[in-house]
Amino acid sequence: MTRFTRLIVAAFVTSASCAALAGPELLNVSYDVMRDFYKDLNPAFVKAYRAKMGEDVVVQQSHGGSGKQARAVIDGLEADVITMNMPPDIDALYDKAKLVPENWAARLPNDSLPFTSLQVLIVRKGNPKQIKDWSDLIKPDVQVVMPNPKVTGNGRYSYLAAWGYALKQPGGSEQKAREFVAAILKNVPVLDSGGRAATTTFMQRGIGDVLLTFENEAEMIAREFGHGGFEVIYPSLSVRAEPPVTLVDKVVDKKGTRKQAEEYLKFLWTPAAQEIAAQNYLRPQDPTVARKYASQFPAVKLFTVEEVFGGWRKAQKTHFDDGGSFDQVYARK
């Protein structure tokens, strides 16, 4: 074999090897507070997938307000997987475009919830307004920053957390809960388009006395701005935030990426991924990992949307659809 022939053979082998290793590209459409988590998770998945399957895969991310992200997928954004912060944003993919099956939540463990979170109150350092619970948010001198419940899951969780808190007080009723939430909204100077936008309003623009957001967003604030400018207040009662995941069937079948998308989502339940979740202050489902990180997750009395509001579909219709309770109370602001 001549040197030239050996070079041609070597080039062919190298090209064939690269082709064997080359893999597809996945698009994960997610909500804005999860940027840092998936920034940490994706390289770990790519490495694990390469070791298991013998090929590379590229994961691209898209982030924004959860409701807007879901609508973008419905309107044609080709997400292989969608990782939202509440089930209605995935239900909408079935209801409006049949992009996923109706029973999408049953395909993965824990109703397709790889981890959970909750709503907390973030205040200025030293807590100058002495905010300790939801009841303090209706004080006349308190400004509240939160995302818009009409377009973000983060905002909806905050809205429902406050409503549920009022319901569960002595003498609580639907009417008192409505009045309580209306009083909070009167103290909201701006409704932002997403959780990260609300953080920017609170931390960079210096607007507001308290920010309502997910527990894990507090850690992201600390990483970006340091621990010196804020404190996290855990209320006496909060709502269990349940961020679900699914592959988008019509997209993965069109692109031929079902195998990769399924592996990506299954990876979220592995001990390695659960560790990454805990390190990003998402409460892991894996009991071993949960015990390991228990000290960083204060015990908080929680209720679920199912328990208090009859499930997300009912809560969506009652509170956030056009003409629902949010529209009614915010219009009177």
Q: Which residues contact 207 (CB under 8 A, 6 or more apart)?
A: 143, 145, 189, 190, 201
Q: What is the mean pLDDT of residues 276-305?
A: 97
- Residue 60: closest CA among 31, 23, 24, 28: 28
DSSP secondary structure string for all residues of 178-226: HHHHHHHHHT-S-EESSHHHHHHHHHTS---SEEEEEHHHHHHHHHHH-
Give the global pTM.
0.88
Determine which helix (DSSP H) or strand (DSSP E) holds 298, and give its type and residue range.
none
Q: Which residues contact 156 (CB under 8 A, 6 or more apart)?
A: 86, 149, 315, 319, 320
Query: Could you tell me the two tokens for 36?
Result: 């840092």
Q: What is d(CA 37, CA 279) in angstroms, rounded to the nearest whole number?
A: 9
Q: CB of 300 within 8 A of CB of 118?
A: yes
pLDDT tens per residue across span 60-102: 999 988 888 999 999 999 999 999 999 999 999 999 999 999 9
Domain covering 2-114+243-268: architecture: 3-Layer(aba) Sandwich (3.40)
pLDDT tens per residue across span 100-136: 999 999 999 999 999 999 999 999 999 999 999 999 9
pLDDT tens per residue across span 1-42: 444 334 333 333 333 333 334 579 999 999 988 999 999 999
- Residue 185: closest CA among 203, 212, 164, 215: 212
pLDDT category, 157, cuts 50, 70, 90? very high
Q: What is d(CA 296, CA 39) in angstroms, rounded to the nearest whole number?
A: 21
pLDDT tens per residue across span 158-185: 999 999 999 999 999 999 999 999 999 9
How many residues are listed for the chain in this entry?
Answer: 333
Q: CB of 136 within 8 A of CB of 183?
A: no
Which amino acid belongs to residue 325? Answer: S
**Res 4: pLDDT:** 35
Which amino acid belongs to residue 282? Answer: L
Q: CB of 64 within 8 A of CB of 13?
A: no
Q: Which residues contact 175 (CB under 8 A, 6 or more apart)?
A: none
CATH 3.40.190.10 residue ranges of the chain are 2-114+243-268, 116-241+300-331
CATH of region 116-241+300-331: 3.40.190.10
